[in-house]
């Protein structure tokens, strides 16, 4: 039986003080410098760590309480999904290409974030920050686990889910998210926090999760909606901490401003390139569309981003350098990327396809200035080739950008008919880039990016299975004819049709 | 021109009273219902007051319980036991 507490409940502020500040201490056996060896080399100056405060004032006891509640909700729905043939309630098996891509590209990134925040929590000297980083590290671990758990229900029935762990390390397109998170993790603790908590979580995460979750809801995917909402409830806190961290750094010392601005320029562009995967998914992979990438960019990029940078202007912070080019690319990137994925679909652990007439109409309505003019003609040509029984496959290896690791397939910001390509020579080697911004990132830290593990280069060096397409497929755990290729005629397509039919008839 | 702050909550039984309370306390807020979620935009400032939520709910309510149903937000956050606020300083 519950006993009524006699003492009045602690106020939120007092409780926060006791359960964060009061847990810290001043070291006496060791100096602060030996305890926190990475706190200064990035050039960030902090004078008073106590000024850092979590605006939610979340303490560990409340954290456990609400997180366990979130997990209980999540598992109740996950069980219902498994018990009620949830895998058949999606609009079309084609939808799962988006989910396969999510599991291979994003979920491992959640795990890497978990590692990164554990490290930041250890290396940043402020106790408030340590507590917040610890919570976020646990959140990210929970996200990785719940995503893998939720999607394991699809793995029982559909192809392309079985090897996401190996594919995270070996599959060419997964080197894009992997290099993004590895790049952040190998920065100092302050850069990591600015990169992930602010540039990614605050400025860009809405573009990833909100349209993705509505997409899942529109397409009958109860399991993804559930893990998405469960994760997103943590993201709102991460975003707030990200913004708070930035304001804290900027308020502590004017010398921090140019350093932070440099990180914002870099990480906004890195994040935006990563999200071209999401734009492609929204515009092409959802059988039932929610909103276009262009619309999402307008709401969550343009509108919210402008409000945010207006707010930060008083510190001397301006919009990231790549902002204008991001807006210029808004109506192009998803089309250019999907055209790439289609011609390389023999080498992807999800299916590609040519959009239907109905989808052409949707794309042309959402992209009135670009689709009919630049992209419909190319799709029409691909259609013709497919109809003639000679579908276009590009067996050449695409040149990858040394920074973002995407194929160099985007066009010049001011000319959608010219491929954008930059190159620089560094210590006798030539390096290629998809954009001026990616080149600038390289120029700033060449010794870091010359070490990039580029899957195409590895392939020609014979380190990825020993050479040849067949060996490469074994190396990346890709089952040819099942996981890859066109959705039209795939096993996923046949099975889904058969199972849907069986579910409303009495045939065995 | 003021910038909008916004709050997105899951659309479910727990959040109905919160959304009603927001409507009462923020006459300038715009409420948009989308599949599975509710989006609330307001110029410059938005508050969720514990007392108003409790009146709508007919039960005691801890503002931190909102964490369970948060989807996303935009703006600076300021929270204490009685009020959760989102604001822009510009």
Overall pTM surpassing 0.90 (yes/no): yes
* B76 to A243: CB separation less than 8 angstroms, yes or no: yes
Q: Answer whether A11 touches B (CB < 8 Å).
A: yes
* B80 to A57: CB separation less than 8 angstroms, yes or no: yes
Per-residue pLDDT of A250-264, as tens digits, reads 999 999 999 999 999
Q: Give the pLDDT score at A3.
A: 53
Beta bridge partners of B38: B9, B33
With bands split at pLDDT 50, 70 and 90, how would you rate the model's confidence at A8?
Answer: low
* A310 to B36: CB separation less than 8 angstroms, yes or no: no
Rounded distance between C-alpha atoms, residue A87 and residue A154, angstroms: 6
Name the one residue in this structure whose structure tokens are 């008839």: A505
CATH topology of domain B4-87: Phenol Hydroxylase P2 Protein (3.90.56)
Min distance B24 CA to chain A CA atoms (Å): 23
- Residue-averaged pLDDT of chain A: 92
Q: Give the pLDDT score at A267.
A: 96
ipTM above 0.85, yes or no: yes
Rounded distance between C-alpha atoms, residue A466 and residue A354, angstroms: 32
* A218 to B10: CB separation less than 8 angstroms, yes or no: no
The residues on B that touch A, with CB distances below 8 Å, are 3-6, 8, 10, 34-37, 64-65, 67-81, 88-90
- DSSP string over B22-84: HHHH-TT-EEEEETTEEEEEEESEEEEEHHHHHHHHTS---GGGGGGGEEEEESEEEE-SSEE
Q: Give the pLDDT score at A459.
A: 87
Q: Does the pLDDT at position B1 exceed 80?
A: no
In angstroms, the Cα distances linking B38 to A90, A114, A249 are 23, 29, 33
Q: Give the pLDDT score at A436.
A: 97
Nearest to B81 among A11, A206, A236 (CB): A11
With bands split at pLDDT 50, 70 and 90, how would you rate the model's confidence at A200?
Answer: confident
Q: Does the pLDDT at position B35 exceed 80?
A: no
With bands split at pLDDT 50, 70 and 90, how would you rate the model's confidence at A4?
Answer: low
Nearest to B71 among A58, A210, A307 (CB): A210
With bands split at pLDDT 50, 70 and 90, how would you rate the model's confidence at A278?
Answer: confident
Mean pLDDT on B56-84: 92
Per-residue pLDDT of A378-391, as tens digits, reads 999 999 999 999 99
Q: Answer whether A200 touches B (CB < 8 Å).
A: no
- DSSP string over A374-409: IIHHHHHHHHHHHHTT------SPPPBPTTT-SBS-
Min distance A225 CA to chain B CA atoms (Å): 9
In angstroms, the Cα distances linking A413 to A273, A334, A450 are 14, 14, 26
Q: Give the pLDDT score at A169.
A: 93
* A306 to B75: CB separation less than 8 angstroms, yes or no: no
Nearest to B64 among A58, A213, A214 (CB): A58
Per-residue pLDDT of A330-382, as tens digits, reads 999 999 999 999 999 999 999 999 999 999 999 999 999 999 999 999 999 99
Residue A479, both tokens? 């089952």
Min distance A345 CA to chain B CA atoms (Å): 32
Mean pLDDT on A276-305: 89
Nearest C-alpha in B relative to A207: B72
Q: Does the pLDDT at position A315 exceed 70?
A: yes
Rounded distance between C-alpha atoms, residue A500 and residue A504, angstroms: 7
With bands split at pLDDT 50, 70 and 90, how would you rate the model's confidence at A505?
Answer: confident
Mean pLDDT on A304-312: 89
**CB contacts, 8 Å: B67 with chain A:** 56, 58, 66, 233, 236-237
Per-residue pLDDT of A11-61, as tens digits, reads 888 888 888 888 888 899 999 999 999 999 999 999 999 999 888 889 999
Tell me if residue A471 falls in helix, strand or coil: helix
Q: Does the pLDDT at position A81 exceed 60?
A: yes
Residue A411, both tokens? 């066009």
Min distance A207 CA to chain B CA atoms (Å): 11
Terminal-to-terminal C-alpha distance of chain A? 53
Min distance A66 CA to chain B CA atoms (Å): 6
Name the one residue in this structure whose structure tokens are 């929590």: A121
* A12 to B80: CB separation less than 8 angstroms, yes or no: yes
Per-residue pLDDT of A216-258, as tens digits, reads 888 999 888 888 888 888 988 898 889 999 999 999 999 999 9
In angstroms, the Cα distances linking A312 to A102, A241, A306, A351, A485 are 32, 15, 10, 43, 47
Q: Give the pLDDT score at A506.
A: 83
Question: Domains plus CATH for chain A?
Answer: 35-44+67-503 (1.10.620.20)
Q: Answer whether A313 touches B (CB < 8 Å).
A: yes
Mean pLDDT on A189-200: 92
Percentage of chain B with pLDDT > 70?
A: 99
């Amino acid at each position: 039986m519950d006993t009524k507490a006699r003492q009045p409940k602690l106020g939120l502020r007092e409780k926060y003080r006791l359960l964060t500040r009061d847990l810290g201490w001043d070291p006496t056996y060791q100096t602060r410098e030996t305890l926190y060896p990475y706190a200064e080399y990035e050039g960030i100056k902090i004078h008073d760590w106590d000024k850092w405060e979590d605006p939610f004032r979340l303490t560990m006891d409340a954290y456990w309480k609400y997180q366990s509640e979130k997990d209980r909700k999540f598992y109740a729905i996950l069980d219902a999904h498994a018990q009620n043939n949830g895998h058949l309630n999606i609009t079309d098996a084609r939808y799962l290409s988006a989910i396969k891509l999510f599991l291979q590209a994003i979920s491992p990134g959640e795990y890497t974030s978990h590692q990164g925040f554990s490290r930041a929590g250890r290396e940043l000297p402020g106790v408030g920050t340590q507590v917040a980083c610890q919570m976020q590290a646990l959140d990210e671990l929970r996200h990785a686990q719940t995503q893998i758990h939720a999607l394991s229900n699809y793995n029982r029935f559909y192809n392309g889910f079985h090897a996401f762990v190996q594919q995270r390390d070996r599959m060419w397109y997964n080197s894009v998210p992997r290099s993004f998170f590895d790049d952040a993790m190998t920065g100092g603790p302050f850069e990591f926090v600015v990169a992930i908590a602010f540039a990614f979580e605050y400025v860009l995460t809405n573009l990833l999760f909100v349209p993705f979750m509505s997409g899942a809801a529109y397409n009958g995917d109860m399991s993804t909606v559930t893990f998405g909402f469960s994760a997103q409830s943590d993201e709102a806190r991460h975003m707030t901490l990200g913004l708070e961290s930035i304001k804290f750094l900027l308020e502590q010392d004017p010398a921090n401003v140019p350093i932070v601005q440099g990180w914002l320029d870099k990480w906004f562009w890195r994040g935006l390139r990563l999200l071209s995967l999401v734009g492609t998914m929204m515009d092409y992979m959802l059988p039932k569309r929610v909103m276009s990438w262009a619309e999402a960019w307008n709401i969550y990029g343009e509108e919210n981003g402008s409000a945010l940078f207006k707010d930060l202007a008083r510190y001397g912070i301006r919009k990231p350098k790549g902002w204008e080019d991001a807006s210029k690319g808004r109506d192009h990137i998803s089309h250019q990327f999907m055209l790439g994925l289609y011609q390389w679909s023999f080498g992807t652990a999800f299916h590609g396809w040519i959009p239907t007439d109905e989808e052409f109409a949707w794309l042309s309505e959402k992209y009135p200035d670009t689709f009919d003019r630049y992209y419909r003609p190319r799709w029409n040509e691909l259609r013709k080739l497919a109809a003639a029984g000679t579908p276009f496959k590009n067996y050449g290896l695409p040149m990858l950008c040394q920074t973002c690791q995407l194929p160099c397939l985007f066009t010049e910001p001011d000319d959608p008919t010219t491929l954008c390509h930059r190159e620089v020579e560094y210590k006798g080697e030539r390096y290629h880039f998809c954009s001026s911004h990616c080149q600038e990132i390289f120029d700033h830290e060449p010794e870091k990016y010359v070490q990039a593990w580029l899957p195409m280069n590895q392939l020609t060096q014979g380190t990825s299975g020993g050479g040849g397409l067949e060996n490469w497929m074994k190396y990346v755990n890709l089952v040819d004819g099942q996981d890859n290729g066109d959705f039209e005629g795939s096993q996923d397509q046949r099975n889904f049709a058969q199972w849907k039919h069986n579910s409303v008839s009495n045939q065995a | 021109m003021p910038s909008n702050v916004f709050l997105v909550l899951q659309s479910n039984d727990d959040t109905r009273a919160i959304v009603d309370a927001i409507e009462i306390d923020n006459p300038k807020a715009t409420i948009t219902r989308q599949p599975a979620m509710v989006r609330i935009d307001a110029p410059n400032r938005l508050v969720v007051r514990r007392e108003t939520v409790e009146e709508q709910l007919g039960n005691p309510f801890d503002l931190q319980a909102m964490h369970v149903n948060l989807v996303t937000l935009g703006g600076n956050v300021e929270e204490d036991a009685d009020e959760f606020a989102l604001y822009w300083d510009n």
